[in-house]
Amino acid sequence: MQTFAHGAALWGVERPWRPSRVTGVTMAGFRVRDLDALRIVPHPAVTLLLEFGDGSPVVDRAPGQQQRGSLVAGPGLGSAGAVRARGENVACVQVRLSPVIARAVLGASPAELDGAVVPLGDLWGREASRIREQLREVPSWQDRFALADALLVRRHEAGPPVDPEVAWAWHRIVAGRGLARVDALAAEVGWSRKRLWSRFRSQLGLPPKRAVRLVRFDHAAHRLVAGEGAARVAADTGYADQSHLHRDVMAFTGATPATVSGEPFLAVDDLAWPAPGSTATPNPPTASGSFADRR
């Protein structure tokens, strides 16, 4: 397990040696003794948190609105900076699910989450408590990743796929880093804009225009974290100007680009969610494949 230090934050971070057998799944493991009010930055994935520690993560959405333990969160959770995570003695496997496979894995459409945080038990029933106990009992992180992956494979194979046109449109948005035009996507799949909006929203959990904005923001935010200037990032990522970037970052996070560039939630990504083929990726002799979200 590697250590992530960022200001006062000190986390243990572990990654799988091998990619998931389900395309569109990435995982990371975390141990945090004292997680203090971490701002959740919106991300274009459905988040599945499988906790098994002595403590329990707490997600605060608004005064009096809390969720503890294992949970599921829809894509874009944390908009306007309204969500914080905290806790003591937290240990968990965090899974990022491409919205294209989330409906099959969860057994419910991400649209039913509507940007909310939902207890995993509400979707999986007793299976949520069983996977928690199993994760506690296995002896290593790699065993935990294998256990989680076996569960995801089984649920994915049993669940309904999204429409091929919807999956294709999503992958075009991701590949284009949020620069795709919704009208063009609808025309390419032979659907009306209204039909694409309806199917995309019902099956992936967000309308295509917001998906475009979210993917573009995510790409821009990580470039800010990498130390690039806001003007350069705005010019390279499809924003009209630096003010446009500033407004979008504020809308998604409730913070300025300068503040977002130092967020631990984003800064840990190079360690926990490295790009395929990067030098940070674990590389045992038998490791192969990539974590890429591909068609």
Bridge-based pairing of strands 25-39 and 9-14 is antiparallel
Q: Looking at residue 278, what is its pLDDT? A: 56
CA-to-CA distance for 141 and 169, rounded, in angstroms? 35
Radius of gyration of the chain from its Cα atoms, rounded to whole angstroms: 18
- Tell me if the domain spanning 2-161 has CATH number 2.60.120: yes
Query: Over the stretch 10-67, which tens digit does the pLDDT of each residue have?
Result: 899 999 999 999 999 999 999 998 888 888 899 999 999 999 999 888 888 876 678 8
Indicate the residue type of 155.
R
Query: Over the stretch 125-166, which tens digit does the pLDDT of each residue have?
Result: 999 999 999 999 998 999 999 999 999 999 999 999 999 999
Q: Looking at residue 294, what is its pLDDT? A: 30
Query: Over the stretch 61-118, which tens digit does the pLDDT of each residue have?
Result: 876 678 888 999 988 888 888 888 888 999 999 999 999 999 999 998 888 876 678 9
Region class of 248: left (phi > 0), else alpha (psi between -120 and 50), else beta: alpha
Whether the predicted pLDDT of 245 surpasses 90: yes
CATH 2.60.120 in the chain, residue ranges: 2-161
CA-to-CA distance for 237 and 224, rounded, in angstroms? 11
pLDDT, the chain, mean: 89
- Give the residue-averaged pLDDT of 230-246: 96
Indicate the residue type of 244.
H
Helix (H, G, I), strand (E, B) or coil at 29: strand
Q: Looking at residue 140, what is its pLDDT? A: 95
Of 55-59, 190-194, 242-246, the one with minimum mean pLDDT is 55-59
- Give the residue-averaged pLDDT of 197-225: 95
Whether the predicted pLDDT of 277 surpasses 70: no
Q: Looking at residue 32, what is its pLDDT? A: 92
Superfamily name with CATH number, domain 164-264: Homeodomain-like (1.10.10.60)
Whether the predicted pLDDT of 258 surpasses 50: yes
CATH 1.10.10.60 in the chain, residue ranges: 164-264
Q: Looking at residue 214, what is its pLDDT? A: 96
In contact, 224 and 252? CB cutoff 8 Å: no
CA-to-CA distance for 83 and 136, rounded, in angstroms? 27
